[in-house]
A = this chain, B = another copy of it.
């Protein structure tokens, strides 16, 4: 469902075997460390022998590893390594570090840097102070219900925004009415303030603000957000204090990036 693996009308450029292999890697969520052949087949919709071959190939390349006793596969170190190669090239991360740390110090809450992947926001950097509430590096949070996701969607050009909203509708039809309303609000917030809110709808008692950061390098927008206990970050404070500081932070990051 996520991407239409079926090649469009006459797409001879699309290499199906590669796409399928990556789809296999993708079915390892944070939840499931070990997957059986069968489970991968179910998730990807591919035939068992196909999975068997792809998994074999991925194992030989180090992207998966195999447990003899469990007869199950898990992600291997090559997969890690691949992601980190990508991470090392994110100079935003380096540039944003001191400012994120500073905001975290000021708010006593956690500050996150995230990028989008499918219907999740992938947290690639985190700062926190009191050990109150921690999303670690590597966590993924849903686009639909978090300030990070809303800021991302709000920042998207209309065409792409439509696409991702459609994907969300398809993924969770039951939640769509709520989702739709929340994103409409998020869009208004973004236009009015420059940032979006998440007030207890991802996790109760957690409030957050987030704002997008556009870079010159042609990547999708990155998002920086600040989240913490609801009693500590009431909506008023987010709107009048934390949000504006977040925008200032983004400005600082942009000029730090422009400098070098």
Residues in A lying within 8 Å of B, measured CB to CB: 3, 13-15, 17-22, 25-26, 28-30, 33, 52-54, 56-58, 60-63, 65-68, 74-90, 94, 115-118, 120, 122-124, 136-140, 217-220
Contact = CB atoms under 8 A, between A and B. Distances in A.
Contacts of A20: 18
A258 B39 CA distance: 27
Contacts of A78: 22, 117-118
Given A14-B60, A15-B17, A21-B21, A85 B29 contact: yes
A29 to B, nearest CB: 7
A106 B136 CA distance: 25
A146 B11 CA distance: 47
Given A79-B86, A87-B137, A219-B65, A3 B116 contact: no
The residue among A30, A77, A81, A84 with the most chain B CB atoms within 10 A of its own CB is A84
A77 B122 contact: yes
B117 A80 contact: yes
B124 A84 contact: yes
B3 A138 contact: no
Contact of A65 (B25, B67, B140, B218): B218
Contacts of A219: 65, 74, 76-77
8 contacts: A14-B56, A22-B63, A28-B85, A74-B217, A77-B86, A81-B83, A81-B117, A84-B124
Contacts of A140: 81, 84-85, 88
A122 B81 CA distance: 6
A181 B243 CA distance: 58
B13 A62 contact: no
Given A15-B21, A88-B136, 17 more contacts: A13-B52, A13-B53, A13-B57, A66-B218, A75-B86, A77-B116, A79-B82, A79-B86, A81-B120, A81-B140, A82-B83, A83-B83, A83-B85, A83-B87, A84-B140, A85-B138, A85-B140
Contacts of A115: 77, 80-81
